């Protein structure tokens, strides 16, 4: 074979070798890059998995901390609400008395404007007839003042609560309702009124200072007894219209009241003495009808109402 041909073949083989080398090197580079990318991807997935595993306990801890932090706050709020309820309950009697006092101021203004004003007052209760009386008063949208006896308050605590809930005023009439016991010495009226006040407070939560002495303040209440009662802030009330319902025990007491009201037409107000008994309640609607027809307003007695005394008029 000529030398030229040999040289030419060697040159071709060399070129092919060079090309194969380049191809081989290129393949190795590609394989290496692919392997590196796969490894990096696995590393990233592994790192992400570790992060997830690490995050769950941290999240749980934070959640637990949040619950622990919120729980005391919730308990604090609950305790605060309970305290508020107790305070509202304790303040309710005072609010009721304040409401009655405010009504008293408005009632005096009403009387000053020329409207006919009447105070319905019921002594000796509560009784078995009181609930019916309260129902009738509610039907007529009228208010009254109840001068109660301590033993009857103890027997009818629910009725006492209803009186207050219905917006009526509560007063004191003593314990025994006996002349020889109530007026026996300078301090006996005070002692009976304090006992009466205590049981009313227990039944209603209201500490009232409105009083009416048995059979009225004249002639039995002495100057010393009156002074002692006043020193203890008790407010004495008598009446200027006597129904004599205790004597009639039928509807004739209504006529007796109407006759006296007609004679007092020029007076700014009238205080009617009635008794919390079945005989009175049976005919009270006749009197209330008259009051409605003749434009009378019935109001309650309060601590701000100017009291009527037998010896001052």
Our answer to whether residue 3 is catalytic in this structure is no
pTM value?
0.67
Q: Could you tell me the CATH number of the domain that includes residue 171?
A: 3.20.20.370
Our answer to whether residue 180 is catalytic in this structure is no
Q: Which helix (H) or strand (E) holds 193?
A: helix 188-204
Q: Give domain status of residue 98, yes or no.
A: no
Q: Give domain status of residue 146, yes or no.
A: yes
Do 110 and 306 form a contact (C-beta atoms < 8 A)?
A: no
Q: What burial letters (b/e) apply to 13-30, b meaning 16+ CB within 10 Å?
A: eeeeeeeeeeeeeeeeee
Q: Which domain holds residue 274?
A: 114-312
pLDDT in tens, 172-221: 999 999 999 999 999 999 999 999 999 999 999 999 999 999 999 999 99
Tokens at 129, concatenated: 């007839």
Q: Give domain status of residue 37, yes or no.
A: no
At 56 the pLDDT is 42
The single residue of 123, 124, 245, 276 carrying the catalytic annotation is 123
At 5 the pLDDT is 62
pLDDT in tens, 233-261: 999 999 999 999 999 999 999 999 999 99
How far, in Å, are 128, 132, 165 from residue 249 at the CA level? Answer: 16, 17, 29
The single residue of 156, 177, 275, 299 carrying the catalytic annotation is 275
Share of the chain above pLDDT 70, in %: 66
At 29 the pLDDT is 65
Q: Give domain status of residue 132, yes or no.
A: yes
Q: Give domain status of residue 191, yes or no.
A: yes
Total domains, the chain: 1
Q: What is the mean pLDDT of residues 21-46?
A: 62
Q: Give domain status of residue 202, yes or no.
A: yes
């Amino acid at each position: 074979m000529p030398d030229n041909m040999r040289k030419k073949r060697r040159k071709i083989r060399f070129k092919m070798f060079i090309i194969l080398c380049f191809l081989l090197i290129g393949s190795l580079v590609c394989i290496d890059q692919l392997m590196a990318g796969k490894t990096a991807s696995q590393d990233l997935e592994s790192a992400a998995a570790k992060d997830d595993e690490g995050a769950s306990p941290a999240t749980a801890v934070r959640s637990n901390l949040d619950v622990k932090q919120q729980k005391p706050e919730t308990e604090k709020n609950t305790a605060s609400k309970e305290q508020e309820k107790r305070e509202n309950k304790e303040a309710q009697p005072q609010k009721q008395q304040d409401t009655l006092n405010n009504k008293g101021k408005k009632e005096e203004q009403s009387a000053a404007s020329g409207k006919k004003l009447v105070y319905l007052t019921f002594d000796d209760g509560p009784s078995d007839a009181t609930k019916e009386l309260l129902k009738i008063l509610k039907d007529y949208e009228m208010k009254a003042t109840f001068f109660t006896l301590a033993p009857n308050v103890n027997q009818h605590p629910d009725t006492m609560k209803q009186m207050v809930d219905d917006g009526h005023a509560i007063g004191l009439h003593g314990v025994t309702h006996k002349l020889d016991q109530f007026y026996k010495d300078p301090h006996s009226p005070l002692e009976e009124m304090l006992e009466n006040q205590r049981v009313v407070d227990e039944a209603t939560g209201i500490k009232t200072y409105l009083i009416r002495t048995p059979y009225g303040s004249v002639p039995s209440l002495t100057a010393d007894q009156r002074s002692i009662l006043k020193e203890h802030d008790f407010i004495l009330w008598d009446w200027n219209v006597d129904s004599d319902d205790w004597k009639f025990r039928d509807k004739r007491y209504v006529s007796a009241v109407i006759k006296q009201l007609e004679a007092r037409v020029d007076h700014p107000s009238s205080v009617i003495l009635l008794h919390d008994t079945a005989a009175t309640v049976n005919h009270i609607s006749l009197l209330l009808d008259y009051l409605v027809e003749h434009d009378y307003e019935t109001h309650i007695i309060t601590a701000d109402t100017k009291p009527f005394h037998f010896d001052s008029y």
